C-alpha cells in the first residue's frame, strides 16, 4: 500500500515536472520572439546600420557591375526643362 502511494507520488512529480518544462519552453519561445521584435525596433531606431545603393537593372551605358562604361559621359541630373505645353520655346533676337 505504501509502495503504491510512493509510486503515485513519483508519477505525479514526473508529470508536474514535464508540464513545467513544457510551460517554460512555450514561455521561452514567445519571449524570444517578442525579444527579437523589440531588438529589431531598437536597432532600427538607434543605429540603422547601412545604406544600400541600388541601380536600375537595365540602364544603357552601364556595365554589369554597375559602373559607367563611358567615363566621359554622364546622364544629366534633371531632364531638359521646357515651357508650358511641353514644347520647346524658341526665343527670337528680340528686335
Partner 1 sequence: MLAAIAGPTPMWYATRASGYTALVLLSASVVLGILTSSREARRDWPRFVVQSLHRNLSLLVSVFLVIHIITSVVDPFAKLNFIDAFVPFIATYRPLWLGLGVVGFELLIAITVTSLARHRLGWRSWRFVHLFAYASWPIAVIHGVGTGTDTKSLWALLVVALCVAAVVAALRMYRSLSSCGLFWNLGISSNTTWY
In the complex, the residues that contact partner 1 under the rule CB under 8 A are 13-14, 17-18, 20-21, 24-25, 28-29, 32, 35-44, 46-56, 59, 62, 66, 74-75, 77
What is the rounded distance in angstroms from the CA atom of residue 10 to the CA atom of residue 17? 10
- C-alpha of 65 from chain center: 24
Q: Minimum Å distance from CB 68 to partner 1?
A: 8
Q: C-alpha grid cell for residue 14?
A: 514526473
Nearer Cβ to partner 1 (4/58): 58
What is the rounded distance in angstroms from the CA atom of residue 75 to the CA atom of residue 88? 20
Nearer Cβ to partner 1 (3/50): 50
Amino acid at each position: 500500500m505504501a509502495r503504491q502511494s510512493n509510486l503515485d507520488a513519483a508519477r505525479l512529480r514526473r508529470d508536474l515536472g514535464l508540464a513545467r518544462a513544457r510551460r517554460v519552453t512555450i514561455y521561452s519561445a514567445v519571449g524570444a520572439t517578442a525579444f527579437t521584435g523589440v531588438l529589431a525596433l531598437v536597432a532600427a531606431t538607434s543605429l540603422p546600420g547601412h545604406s544600400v545603393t541600388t541601380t536600375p537593372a537595365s540602364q544603357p551605358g552601364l556595365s554589369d557591375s554597375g559602373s559607367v562604361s563611358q567615363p566621359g559621359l554622364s546622364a544629366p541630373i534633371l531632364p531638359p526643362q521646357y515651357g508650358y505645353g511641353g514644347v520647346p520655346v524658341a526665343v527670337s533676337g528680340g528686335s
